[in-house]
Amino acid sequence: MNNKMEKDILLYRMVVAVLGLTVVVSVVGAIILAMTGRSTPEVIVALGSAAIGGLAGLLAPSPLNR
């Protein structure tokens, strides 16, 4: 079963796409709020930061595959 999950490229791509979309939406939202003179809520900053961390963890090479 573990081997089947390692070869599921579609799920991997979907997770990367959703995390990437979360980063883009949070950055654009923060920019729009800053342009209108409002402060950026900490939730938007936290979501963007968590999504970037998740992308870094997914896209970094695994030390087991060396």
48 pLDDT band (50/70/90 cuts)?
A: very high
Tell me if 20 sits within 8 A of 50, measured CB to CB. no
- Whole-number Å distance between alpha carbons of 8 and 3: 9
Q: Is residue 45 part of a domain?
A: yes
- Whole-number Å distance between alpha carbons of 37 and 56: 31
Residue 44 lies in domain: 2-59
Q: Is residue 46 part of a domain?
A: yes
Q: Is residue 35 part of a domain?
A: yes
Q: Is residue 66 part of a domain?
A: no
Q: How many structural domains is the chain composed of?
A: 1
Q: Is residue 8 part of a domain?
A: yes
Rounded to 10°, the helix 42-59/9-35 angle is 150
Q: Is residue 21 part of a domain?
A: yes
Give this prediction's pTM. Answer: 0.78
Look up residue 29 and give its two tokens: 């939202």
Q: Each residue of 2-18: pLDDT tens digit?
A: 566 567 788 889 999 99
